[in-house]
Amino acid sequence: MTLRLGEVAELASNSASLREFSASLLAAWGRHVGFDVAMHATEHGVHAAVGVSPRDLEKMAANNDAYARELMPVKRAALAQRGVAIDSQVLTSRRGLRYYVEVMAPEGGEHALLALGTMGGRIVSMSTLGRTGSCFSRADVAAIEAVLPVVALGTAALERAAPRDGGLRARERELVDYVALGLTNAQIASALGLSPRTVRNQLSRLYAKLGVAGRAEMIARLR
């Protein structure tokens, strides 16, 4: 059964946040297209991920610029078409790429589909679906291409509606400020009169609230 525009529009209208919409979107693509791992992101970071460990998300955030340069041909191919391209069909050799060696190969990844939602010539959503086995079919690509305009619209609308700081409380804002200064968990704990374990737990809850993978992505999003 093909994913319909109306279904994606309904997901967006029924979602209270971009994170909720992103998770619902990936679930829908899982049912209709199928993948082993997936992420939905904007320029402010990853808002939902399936099958991707927090450690890998942190690695991708820390090395975002390097990975983006390597994958630029895939991005250009997607923009030249209807928003979708598959890395294994664009890149003649991936074995020497850091992204492949550090992210895909350890998980057995063989094919990564990139779907870019655009509005007014600007990229507003970036989804990546990965498979360890067979490549995505033409029907899979067409199904995603068909709904990308609504994905972009829903993503942009929900991102505009969300406060950039996620409605942080005073203590959460304080944690962000200490992290931005480059303090370790132990240093933050000393400053706040807490244990390092408590700081670690509070930061983990803060990452979940903001929908980010770790320190680097949190600071990039709240800048």
- At 78-107, the pLDDT tens digits run 999 999 999 999 998 888 899 999 888 888
What does the pLDDT look like over 108-124, one tens digit per residue?
889 999 999 999 889 99
Please tell me the predicted confidence (pLDDT) of residue 220. Answer: 78
Domain assignments of the chain as residue spans, ordered by start: 5-161, 170-214
Coil vs helix vs strand at 63:
coil
Residue 149 — very low, low, confident or very high, per pLDDT cuts 50/70/90?
Answer: very high
Q: Does the predicted model carry a pTM greater than 0.85?
A: no
Please tell me the predicted confidence (pLDDT) of residue 221. Answer: 75
Tell me the C-alpha distance between 219 and 223, whole Å: 6
Alpha helices in the chain (DSSP H): 5-14, 18-32, 54-62, 64-70, 72-80, 87-90, 98-99, 138-161, 170-180, 185-192, 196-210, 215-222
From the options 2.40.10.10, 3.40.50.300, 1.10.10.10, 3.55.40.20, give the CATH code of 170-214.
1.10.10.10
* pLDDT at 200 exceeding the cut of 70: yes
| CA-wise closest residue to 75 among 43, 51, 47, 106 | 43
What does the pLDDT look like over 150-188, one tens digit per residue?
999 999 988 877 655 557 887 888 888 788 878 889 888
The answer to whether 97 touches 66, Cβ cutoff 8 Å, is: no
Residue 212 — very low, low, confident or very high, per pLDDT cuts 50/70/90?
Answer: confident
More confident residue, 186 or 1: 186
Q: Which CATH architecture has domain 5-161?
A: 2-Layer Sandwich (3.30)
The answer to whether the 5-161 and 170-214 domains have the same CATH topology is no
